[in-house]
Amino acid sequence: MCFVCDRGMIKRYIVCLNPEKAEADAQVRQAIIESLESALKKGDKQLIGNKGYRRFLRTRDSRFEIDRKKVAEDARYDGRYVLRTDEKP
């Protein structure tokens, strides 16, 4: 839990972890990566318009490839969310 005072109001931030949501997030990401790998084999021009794909892509030698660092970074947030509350002191 983290407390921040802003203009006389105390803002409380609570980071939560939901294991069931974490599992669902991982499954969705895995499905996107599998679909992306298949789509990359067919050609990469169609991928730019897809936001789900685009967040895991990088360019190399004028071609797209899966950025494994972005995939790992996304996995760090599986099942996590933040609650914010305000209260007067």
Q: Where are the domains of the chain?
A: 2-84
* Per-residue pLDDT, 1: 58
What pTM was estimated for this model as a whole? 0.73
Give per-10-residue mean pLDDT for the chain (89 aa).
65 89 96 90 74 84 89 95 78
* Per-residue pLDDT, 88: 61
Torsion on CA atoms 15, 17, 23, 26, rounded to nearest 10: 20
* Per-residue pLDDT, 70: 95
Beta bridge partners of 63: 60
CB neighbour list of residue 15: distance below 8 Å, 6 or more residues apart: 1, 2, 80, 81, 82
Distances (CA, A) of 3 to 11, 16, 81: 6, 15, 16
* Per-residue pLDDT, 60: 84
